[in-house]
Structure 1
Amino acid sequence: MADEYTATWVSHSSISEFLRCPRAYYLKYVYKNPKNGHKMSIVNPPLALGQVVHEVLESLAVLPADERLKISLVKKLDPVWLKITGKKGGFKNFAEESEYKIRASQMLINLQENPGPILNKAIKIRSKMNLPHYWLNEEEGIILSGKIDWLEYRQEDDSVRIIDFKTGKNEEKEDSLQLPIYLLIAANKQSKKV
């Protein structure tokens, strides 16, 4: 039986990085510092922004639909922001951090005012590693992984719809592998039609 801990994990991000620059892929996903055995991890403000906004949204999926917006999403942001404050979020200074925190707050205010699918039933894919994944090729030891933002349950046809919230300024390219990867994971890790 294949071992998840020694397998090669691939995701939309890692595949995109490899296609963009194989050397950057190696440094980010393969190389380990010989002194401490850790992979390199570089956090920047846009990445930190996406991380905290998505964490707030993820906390909603486990709540009943009618309880999701009872507490202000901006109030939920503050304790999560502490995880990325200062250098932990790659911020150069307090002014830059404040600018990004305002952006995060505004995104959550917009969602609170226009919740759309957030008020509908959702399905959460459970995973022992808190990262939905499945064996793409067990023989070769390759696992496909991806963090799906939201699976909206559609009662009318007993299916789910994949929703990906965007926090960046760039549009996803038309040939992006992100949604096809999410489709593979969702189709293989839960029982509803996608």
Structure 2
Amino acid sequence: MAKDKYTAVWVSHSSISDFLACPRAYFLNNVYRDPHSGHKITLMSPPLALGQAVHEVIESLSTVPTEKRFHEPLASKLEEVWKKVSGKRGGFFDPDTEETYLQRGKEMLARVLNHPGPLTNLAVKIKMELPYFWLSEDDNIILCGKIDWLEYLPETKSVHIIDFKTGKTEEDPTSLQLPIYHLLASRCQQHPVSKVSYWYLMRSDAPAQQKLPDMEEAQKKVLSIAKKIKLARQLRRFKCKRATGCRVCRPLEAVIAGDAEFVGIDEYHQDVYILPRPSDDDRASTIL
């Protein structure tokens, strides 16, 4: 089959995670388009807003020469970036909650500023806006994704993949994120990958190195799932395993049902929605 990226099935860590969690959620996040706007839909929440803003600030440093990387205060950069997610656009219903999340972001960036570690070293920037490669030309499948940070290690002429985490929980050991990033980094730039790490910004002063994924095993596993996604798209079969929906797809179903609030269009031309704030009755509890 001739390569045609416009008819190919594109997969990424996020879309694969959606599919594995719930095929219906995959459909709503990656295939469905609003019949009126023609846009895809996405749900925003405070944790997502925080992660988006902090990632944008840190990732912007990779394009700055090492000697100038920390000249501008990171807190000031965050406040500028935060304007994109302020108020309901970030899923915030009151100023106090928003301020709590903003301060949490500033604390993470203060940690980075005080313990910059690998961020003071040379960084590799992949030239593609969205790195991608043909996972399988025969199956017309493309793997894509953005890697948070590639530290260049001159002593081995290799790169260190770093993924920043802004949440409280650790990444699942079975996650395909680092295997996918390993594949992407190996195919989209010329330096071999020698290290992979997660950096838990809420609590750690340095990245936590992980086992280097096996390339052959990663390729095989990702392609197997990608083929299932392609088949589901061909058959238009995206069914949740639960008759009433699951915790992954139900919030997105609320958007389709008109039970979510439209708050804007993001930089990827997706319609952004937020779910209604839980009422006091919904949040009430009883001590037994």
Matching of residue 60 in structure 1 with residue 61 in structure 2: yes
Q: String of CA shifts for 1:61-80, please: whole Å, max 9, x gaps.
A: 01111111111111111111
Deviation digits for residues 77-103 of structure 1, max 9, x if unmatched? 111111111111111222111111111
1:155 paired to 2:154: yes
Query: What CA distance in whole angstroms lies between the structure 2 residues aligned with 1:35 and 1:138?
Result: 34
Distance apart, 1:140 and its partner CA: 3.1
Residue 72 of structure 1 aligns to which amino acid in structure 2?
A: P
In the alignment, what sits opposite 1:125? Answer: 126
The aligned amino acid for 1:8 is: V
Residue 75 (structure 1) aligns with: 76
| Counterpart position of 1:2 | 3
Residue 182 (structure 1) aligns with: 181
Unaligned runs of 5+ in 2: 194-288
Name the amino acid aligned to 2:22.
Answer: C
The residue number in structure 2 matching 1:169 is: 168
SS in structure 1 of the partner of residue 43 of structure 2: coil
Instruction: Give SS of 1:156's match.
Output: coil
The Cα of 1:48 is off from its aligned counterpart by: 1.1
How far off its partner does 1:50 sit? 0.8
SS in 2 for 1:33: coil
Q: Which amino acid aligns with 1:187?
A: S
Which residue does 2:19 correspond to in 1? Answer: 18
Cα shift at 1:7: 2.9
- What is the CA distance between 1:4 and its match in structure 2? 3.1
Separation of aligned partners in 2, 1:37 and 1:75: 36
Higher strand share: 2
Q: Distance in 2 between matches of 1:13 and 1:92?
A: 27
* Counterpart secondary structure, 2:159: strand
Q: Distance in 2 between matches of 1:92 and 1:171?
A: 27
Q: How does 1:85-100 map to 2 (within 5 A)?
A: 85-100=86-101
Q: CA 1:78 to 1:142, structure 2 compared with 1: closer, same or farther past 3 Å?
A: same
Sequence identity (%) = 55
* Structure 1 residue runs without a partner (length 5+): none
Tell me how far apart the structure 1 counterparts of residues 94 and 118 of structure 2 sit (CA, whole Å): 36
| Distance 1:104-1:6 versus aligned 2 partners, 3 A rule | farther
Provide the secondary structure at the position in 2 that maps to 1:24. helix
Q: CA RMSD in A?
A: 1.3
Q: Match of 2:71, as an amino acid?
A: K
Question: Cα offset for 1:141?
Answer: 3.0
With 135-144 and 60-69 compared, the bigger mean Cα shift is at: 135-144
**SS of alignment partner, residue 162 of structure 1:** strand
Separation in 1, partners of 2:3, 2:60: 31
1:153-194, Cα deviation, whole Å (9 max, x unpaired): 001011001011111111101111000000000000111111
Distance 1:192 1:13 in 2: 25
1:40/1:61 Cα in 2 relative to 1: closer, same or farther (>3 Å)? Answer: same
Greater share of helix residues, 1 or 2? 1
Give the alignment's TM-score, normalised by structure 2.
Answer: 0.64
| Alignment coverage as a number of residue pairs | 192
**CA drift at 1:137:** 2.1
Describe the shift of the 1:137–1:120 C-alpha distance in structure 2 as closer, same or farther (beyond 3 A): same
Q: Give a deviation string over 1:30-86, Cα, whole Å, max 9, x none.
A: 111222211111111111111111111111001111111111111111111111111
Cα distance in structure 1, aligned partners of 2:53 and 2:79: 9
Q: Which amino acid aligns with 2:51?
A: G
Once residues 35 and 138 of structure 2 are traced to their aligned partners in structure 1, the CA distance between those partners, rounded to angstroms, is 29
